[in-house]
Amino acid sequence: MKTKKIAIIGKGASGRAIFYHLAKIISSNTKKYSNIQIDVYDPRENSGVAYSTDIESHILNMNLSSMTIEPDDTSHFNSFIQSNPEVLVNYSEYLDNYNDGNPPRKLIRQYLDFVMKEALALEKLHPSFSTTFFNKEVENITRHGNQYHVHTNNGVAEYDHIVLSIGNLEPKDHYKDLVGHERYFSNPWPFSRLLDGIGSSLTNDKTVIGVLGSSLTAIDIAVGLKEKDYKGKVLFFSRSGLLPSIQSPRRSYYESKLKHLSHSNKSSIKLEEVINLIKSELQEVERKRIDFNSIFNERYVRSARENLEHDIRGANLDGFKYQDYFFNISKYLPAIWERIDIDDKLNFLANNMSLWSTYRSAMPLQNAKRINSLIQSGELQIHKIAKDRKSITITDRAISVKNSENEILECDYTINATGTSLDTKSTKNRLLKNLIQNDLIDHHPAGGLHINPRTFEVLNSKGNVSNNLFLIGSLTRGNLFYTNAYEANVSQAKNLSKIISNLIIKKDESR
């Protein structure tokens, strides 16, 4: 019988999750699933961008309870801890209580290695299931009838099914003139490269590092530099001048009507209906009438420092019920977002997304305290800058930034912390460029690539499905919205593993 060949492109959390779930299904029934080969491609030897950092203060920005490979089941994570007693010792302060824990992200790297070991042990038990790992970048994929060819610099291999789990795109350079400047970093990751680039200036207390952005990536940069004994100043520059809000350390369950909406068979959902429902449930959760305009305005009127102190006080008191609420509803959003009209989606992304991110992509309390002490000591300043591209000027030695009060601030190094991009139109990613040229994929106007959300197959520019070419991860945002979080990626991977395993059986039966 012909071997069924599956390629997984990308070995971050999503690639590992799809491999694990496929391995589980395939090994559960050796008769139903026979003669299967999975090849995994990734030029990087790590667990993806997020979990490769070794810095202790680069902590999970999601609750530990959501970081399991089995969606909604923490017992798998528990089995990892039980079989690795040193983890319990090293991370005891975070593991005592899942609900309060935001451990260093490198713990998840260890967990994902454990997941892979388990999956490979299952593969070994199966007589006709094999896996090969290639430390290679996939440069191109071409279609030949029902097969795909995967091209690397080493040659070409043929597959029946391909999973693109290539993660996020490189951050976008909003200030193009900075590109190529020797003291400008387009991407803070890997963090070790950034530290090497700054070199001995780290220990010079006169050094000024400018950070373009003030969200979670900027927080990672400030706390990471501090951990490495950086002596100089850090300046955050962003259009909002806002820091993320702070995560609630408590978790409680809330039965949202969004659950029913997500399961309903309505073919289209109005954004207004969703926003009104969220507003009404937030008032129920908070047990008070909320003046939403003034809440949002207050945040803009107060300084970043005042917001931070306000949020730390709140988090230390009762936590934030609205955060529990957002945490609870996130998983219903993909099925709802998919049925929202494209104009409404674009409107939301243009006008509300940054506020949503401020509250939903909140920073853990531990890092909020670190940031607060950096602000208090004067080591960190947060500046608003105008949209105007002229607010940044370049000299040989430095990059100068004009803030909203027309002060000119000179930076010895400048780091782009505007976060990962979903702009597949301007990406330099070679594989995506080739896939677009081969008309196997197409840009989604709301970010990332077009997929069929029921099968995860990509669509081309004519809206036709590229059969058996699947996409999971953050690039599915245009269709599924909540896609740049581990729990969302793992859940997509589990669903896709069921789809692929069904296709493998069907293929056999049809012969």
Ligand X SMILES: Cc1cc2nc3c(=O)[nH]c(=O)nc-3n(C[C@H](O)[C@H](O)[C@H](O)COP(=O)(O)OP(=O)(O)OC[C@H]3O[C@@H](n4cnc5c(N)ncnc54)[C@H](O)[C@@H]3O)c2cc1C
* Interface ranges with ligand X (CB under 6 A): 9-15, 41-44, 48-50, 60-62, 105, 137-138, 165-168, 420, 431, 473-474, 484-486, 489
DSSP 271: H
Q: What three-state secondary structure class fits 267?
A: coil
One-letter amino acid of 126: H
Q: Locate 304 and state its tokens.
A: 């970043």
Q: What three-state secondary structure class fits 217?
A: helix
Task: Please give the helix or strand (H or E) that residue 193 lies within, else none.
Answer: helix 191-198
Q: How far is the CB of 284 from ligand X (least distance, A)?
A: 27
The nearer residue to ligand X, 55 or 399, going by C-beta atoms, is 55
Task: Please give the helix or strand (H or E) that residue 488 lies within, else none.
Answer: helix 486-509
Q: How far is the CB of 67 from ligand X (least distance, A)?
A: 7
The nearer residue to ligand X, 220 or 281, going by C-beta atoms, is 220
The nearer residue to ligand X, 74 or 283, going by C-beta atoms, is 74
Closest CA to 440 of 465, 464, 460: 460
Cis ω for the linkage preceding 190 (within 30 of 0): yes
Closest CA to 267 of 346, 332, 341: 341
Q: How far is the CB of 408 from ligand X (least distance, A)?
A: 30
Q: How far is the CB of 163 from ligand X (least distance, A)?
A: 11
From start to end of 361-489, where are the E strands?
Answer: 380-384, 392-394, 399-402, 408-411, 413-416, 457-459, 465-471
Closest CA to 338 of 461, 164, 476, 490: 476
Phi then psi for residue 164, to 5 deg, are: -90, 110
Q: How far is the CB of 47 from ligand X (least distance, A)?
A: 7
The nearer residue to ligand X, 33 or 51, going by C-beta atoms, is 51
The nearer residue to ligand X, 67 or 392, going by C-beta atoms, is 67
The nearer residue to ligand X, 41 or 348, going by C-beta atoms, is 41
Q: How far is the CB of 18 from ligand X (least distance, A)?
A: 9
The nearer residue to ligand X, 33 or 77, going by C-beta atoms, is 77
How many CB atoms within 10 Å of residue 493?
A: 27
Q: How far is the CB of 84 from ligand X (least distance, A)?
A: 20
